[in-house]
Amino acid sequence: MNDYQRNCDCSCERCTRGRMTWGAVLLTLGGLFLLNEFTHIRFHATWPVLLIVIGVVMVWRHAGSIEGHVPRDPAGTPQAPSPPQPPPNPGSSQVPHV
C-alpha cells in the first residue's frame, strides 16, 4: 500500500505507533531538562539525544504493520472497509428485476 495516510480513527499498528511520537519527544525533553537541573550534565551537551529518539520512534513507527488499516477518504473522514461481494453464479441466466 503505497498511498498510506495516517488515520486517527484507525487501530492498525502503524497508526497506533504514530500517536506515541509526541509522547516520546516530550518525555525525552523532560528527562534532558531534569539532567540539566540536577546533575552536572547540561542541555547543550545532550540535545542530540532528542534527535536520536525522534529517529528511533520514526523507524519504529514505519516498521509497524498496516494490516487492518482503515483508509481515509479524500474529505478526511475514515472509510469503513466494504464487505466482500459474492462471485456471480455463471450458470444463472436470471436478469434482475428493475
DSSP letter string over 24-83?
Answer: HHHHHHHHHHHHHHHSS--HHHHTHHHHHHHHHHHHHHHTS--TT--PBPTTSPBPPPPP
Task: Give the per-residue pLDDT at 58.
Answer: 87
Task: Give the per-residue pLDDT at 65.
Answer: 80
State mean pLDDT over 62-79. Answer: 71
Residue 97 has pLDDT above 80, yes or no: no
Domain ranges of the chain: 13-62
Residue 62 has pLDDT above 50, yes or no: yes
For the stretch 1-54, pLDDT in tens is 457 777 777 878 877 877 788 899 999 999 999 999 999 999 999 999 999 999
